[in-house]
Structure 1
């Protein structure tokens, strides 16, 4: 349990940092230019926090998998990437299907982002966690 909680905390920090950089440098401008008419005046902070809490749990469960010592790094990264693909594709393709004027470019970009960010967060979390836990007995 300690390893899972440590993995969660580490993945949460990594994901938050990377996602904020993505939002500020890419997503904000793309969303505004492609679908500004669909955006709320300001984000809902409770919904955003809930998203991060739930999403990071998914990255840890499907990507990092701290309780599974026998999984190679490549398998973990693949698991994280697939989690990102399925979750972001669910959002983007549903939005494309039901929202008037939802841009296909945003859908494709979001899906690619989901795959990339989840793979990267998984990789960084696993590598850093291995370094932190190096020399410690398994718990």
Structure 2
């Protein structure tokens, strides 16, 4: 398996496990209570496209630079920043444009975006360093 696919696989497994746990078990009730009438049926194709694009961006903007710098700390900090920026794009736009979008959801999502992206970046770089995938 080539270098990119190895990194993508580690990042995808990590991100999907964490995000699905978050969406299905941790934040589900909060989203239902806060967004109730705004929620619709999940559309799999757009969701899959998001995950693929997000993970490609994570590799390009965070993981590869962290591996070049040989820095797990860079992966964690840059991952947190990327997650904050990306989740802010979605949530702050919703807060600005959708009537009834709760500020609480925005704050929690920004924290989650930073945390899940930092964690995914850190684990991906750690595994790559461990197996010497440079």
TM-score, normalized by the shorter chain, greater than 0.5: yes
Counterpart of 2:16? 16
Which structure 2 residues correspond to residues 21-36 of structure 1 after superposition, within 5 A? Answer: 21-36=21-36
Structure with the larger helix share: 2
Cα displacement (A) at 1:4: 2.4
- Structure 1 consecutive aligned stretches of length 4 or more whose deviation exceeds 3 Å: none
Cα displacement (A) at 1:60: 1.3
The answer to whether structure 1 residue 5 and structure 2 residue 5 are counterparts is yes
- TM-score between the two structures when normalised by the length of structure 2: 0.92
The answer to whether structure 1 residue 46 and structure 2 residue 75 are counterparts is no
CA distance in structure 2 between the partners assigned to 1:19 and 1:60 by the alignment:
17
Cα displacement (A) at 1:69: 2.3
CA RMSD after TM alignment: 1.8
Counterpart of 1:108? 107
Cα displacement (A) at 1:68: 4.5
Distance 1:68 1:128, change over 3 A: closer
Counterpart of 2:79? 80
* Bigger CA radius of gyration: 1
CA distance in structure 1 between the partners assigned to 2:79 and 2:66 by the alignment:
15
Contact kept in structure 2, 1:88 and 1:110, CA below 8 Å: yes
Give the count of matched residue pairs: 134
CA distance in structure 1 between the partners assigned to 2:32 and 2:125 by the alignment:
34
Query: Deviation digits for residues 81-102 of structure 1, max 9, x if unmatched?
Result: 1110100001010000000100
Cα displacement (A) at 1:26: 2.2
- TM-score between the two structures when normalised by the length of structure 1: 0.88
Cα displacement (A) at 1:73: 1.3
Cα displacement (A) at 1:6: 1.3
CA distance in structure 1 between the partners assigned to 2:105 and 2:58 by the alignment:
22
* Gap regions ≥5 residues in structure 2: none
